[in-house]
């Protein structure tokens, strides 16, 4: 690796990053903090680096202090971990002082974490992105030694999507027929195609999403984990998508894969789902009432974006609605705060610290469906007293007052997402 090549890459970043037009996303930084951003491919991690660079420039830093390196650059394809120090050498050859370091997709360099730790020890300020959550595995976290803050980056929330579409909402927006109609129109696309920034501006949305999924599948799953049985992995992802609304045992997924004529054992399915979580493609919820052993084998699994889920589904509105509810909650609460409940009564989402239970129901127009959803919350409230009970629907909105004092809010998802 030539030092002059790195110098050229540094100058390239200094030239174009200040000119990038951004939609600023809400995130706060500690003044001297070092950060690792993780998330699924194309969710906007690089733009977080650009956003932070532009913030620092507005605060008075000079562009010459900025070192931005994208390790997807083909000029760095052969770079090894022992050559990473050339970045500091290239900067020092024409600048004084310590640079502010921004490393994009650094997980492409095996052993990068040792360099990152040394930089933190030497009091450099560093910002790092990566597509694969294995960057935060136990071994790497130990190596970084608590020297970095972790920030999860997700595809756009509906609130961010509304801002990106330049729809400006005030506190009373829902009382304006014009704004309400604009929100509902915007939600139709978001509901089906998700929140990846690039998908907003392409007409062939499903094609773009399929191409993104194939990149994740081959690069972050097959290649990274040295998967030999690609057919079993692909079918596992498909069956997982089709099972979004229900608690699923790994044995059940294994049997569904086998029904397609593909041999795949339950322990292999468990391993595959772990790889999908590492790639930030899916996340999982535990049953609040389950024993530890059951929590490891029976979970509810959701996709990190509705667009990625939708490529697997036909007429999957109910699955998309529940998946979007799960995404919204997952961004706010970690795995020790957000659960589902399944013992004598089924509740889609339960937040024990908030004493909040949430059902996802596409439509309450069918009387049997409405009765099932309402009765589940009433029964649950009898042994787990609730402060708040909600049924999230596609469009319906009203309150239900029960004899035991429970008030159930029936609320459209597009309004709930903007609370």
Q: How far apart are the first and last CA of the chain?
A: 51
Together in a domain, 136 and 13? yes
Together in a domain, 14 and 132? yes
Together in a domain, 183 and 215? no
Inside any domain, residue 379: yes
Together in a domain, 165 and 126? no
Phi, psi of 340 (to 5 degrees): -110, 170
Tell me what pLDDT residue 136 has. 63
Inside any domain, residue 407: yes
Inside any domain, residue 335: no
Together in a domain, 41 and 117? yes
SS3 411: strand
Tell me the per-residue pLDDT of 384-408, one tens digit each, with 9 for 90 and over. Answer: 999 999 999 999 999 999 988 899 9
Tell me what pLDDT residue 28 has. 83
Q: Which helix (H) or strand (E) holds 45?
A: helix 45-58
Inside any domain, residue 239: yes
Find the radius of gyration of the CA atoms of the chain. Answer: 23
CA distance 197 to 9: 25
Tell me the per-residue pLDDT of 67-110, one tens digit each, with 9 for 90 and over. Answer: 999 999 999 988 999 999 999 999 999 888 999 999 998 888 98
Instruction: Give, for all 419 residues of the chain, the pLDDT tens digit.
Output: 788 999 999 999 999 999 999 888 888 888 888 998 888 999 999 999 999 999 999 999 999 999 999 999 999 988 999 999 999 999 999 888 999 999 998 888 989 999 999 999 999 999 998 766 667 666 677 778 788 888 889 999 999 999 998 999 988 898 899 999 999 999 999 999 999 999 998 999 999 999 999 999 998 899 889 999 999 999 999 999 999 999 999 999 999 999 999 999 999 999 999 999 989 999 999 999 988 777 888 999 999 999 999 999 988 999 999 999 999 999 999 989 999 999 999 999 999 999 999 999 999 999 999 999 999 999 999 999 999 999 999 999 999 999 888 999 999 999 999 98
CA distance 191 to 271: 30
Tell me what pLDDT residue 301 has. 96
Structural domain harbouring 59? 3-152
Distance of CA 67 to the CA centre of its chain: 27
- C-alpha to C-alpha distances, 151 to 29, 54, 56, 216, nearest whole angstrom: 10, 18, 18, 20
Together in a domain, 122 and 236? no
Q: Token pair for residue 332? A: 């706010």
Which distant-in-sequence residues (6+ apart) come within 8 Å of 42 by Cβ?
Answer: 196, 197, 198, 212
CATH number at residue 206: 1.10.10
Inside any domain, residue 331: no
CA distance 270 to 255: 13
Inside any domain, residue 339: no
| Sheet (strand 149-152) strand order | 66-70, 100-104, 125-130, 35-38, 149-152
Inside any domain, residue 328: no
Q: Is 315 left (phi over 0), alpha (psi -120 to 50) or beta?
A: left
Tell me the per-residue pLDDT of 217-256, one tens digit each, with 9 for 90 and over. Answer: 998 899 889 999 999 999 999 999 999 999 999 999 999 9
Together in a domain, 234 and 353? no
Together in a domain, 301 and 379? no
Tell me what pLDDT residue 228 has. 93
Inside any domain, residue 245: yes
Tell me what pLDDT residue 119 has. 95
Tell me what pLDDT residue 32 has. 84
Together in a domain, 308 and 414? no
Tell me what pLDDT residue 131 has. 67
Tell me what pLDDT residue 292 has. 78
Together in a domain, 224 and 252? yes
Average pLDDT of the chain is 92
Together in a domain, 300 and 400? no
* Number of folded domains that form the chain: 4
Together in a domain, 40 and 83? yes
Q: Token pair for residue 169? A: 């909402």
């Amino acid at each position: 690796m030539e030092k002059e090549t790195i110098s050229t890459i540094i100058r390239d970043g200094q030239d174009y990053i200040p000119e990038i037009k951004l939609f600023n996303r809400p995130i706060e930084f500690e003044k001297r903090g070092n950060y690792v951003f993780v998330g699924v491919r194309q969710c906007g991690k690089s733009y977080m680096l650009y956003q932070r660079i532009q913030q620092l420039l507005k605060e008075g830093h000079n562009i010459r202090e900025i070192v931005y390196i994208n390790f997807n650059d083909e000029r760095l394809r052969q770079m090894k971990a022992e050559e990473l120090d050339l970045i500091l050498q290239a900067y020092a050859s024409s600048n004084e002082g310590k640079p502010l370091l921004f490393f994009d997709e650094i997980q492409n360099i095996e052993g990068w974490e040792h360099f990152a730790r040394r930089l933190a020890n030497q009091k450099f300020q560093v910002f790092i992105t990566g597509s694969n959550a294995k960057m935060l595995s136990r071994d790497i976290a130990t190596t970084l030694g608590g020297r970095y803050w972790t920030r999860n980056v997700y595809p756009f929330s509906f609130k961010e999507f509304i801002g990106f579409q330049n729809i400006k909402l005030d506190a009373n927006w829902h009382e304006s027929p014009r704004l309400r109609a604009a929100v509902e129109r915007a939600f139709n696309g978001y509901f089906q195609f998700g929140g990846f920034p690039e998908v907003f501006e392409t007409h062939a949305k499903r094609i773009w999403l399929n191409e993104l999924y194939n990149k994740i599948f081959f690069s972050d799953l097959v290649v990274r984990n040295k998967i030999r049985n690609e057919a079993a992995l692909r079918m596992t992802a498909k069956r997982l998508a089709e099972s979004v609304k229900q608690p699923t045992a790994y044995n059940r997924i294994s049997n569904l894969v086998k029904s397609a004529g593909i041999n795949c054992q339950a322990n292999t399915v468990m391993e595959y789902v772990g790889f999908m979580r590492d790639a930030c493609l899916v996340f999982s919820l535990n049953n609040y009432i389950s024993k530890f052993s059951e929590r490891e084998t029976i979970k509810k699994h959701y996709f990190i974006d509705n667009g990625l889920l939708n490529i697997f589904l036909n007429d999957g509105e109910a699955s998309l609605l529940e998946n979007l509810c799960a995404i919204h909650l997952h961004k706010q609460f970690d795995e020790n705060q957000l659960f589902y409940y399944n013992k004598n009564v089924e509740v889609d989402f339960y937040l024990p610290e908030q004493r909040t239970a949430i059902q996802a129901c596409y439509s309450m127009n069918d009387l049997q469906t409405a009765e099932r959803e309402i009765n589940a919350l009433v029964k649950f409230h009898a042994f787990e007293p609730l402060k708040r009970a909600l049924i999230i629907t596609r469009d319906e909105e009203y309150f239900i007052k029960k004899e035991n004092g429970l008030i159930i809010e029936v609320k459209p998802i597009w309004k709930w997402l903007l609370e």
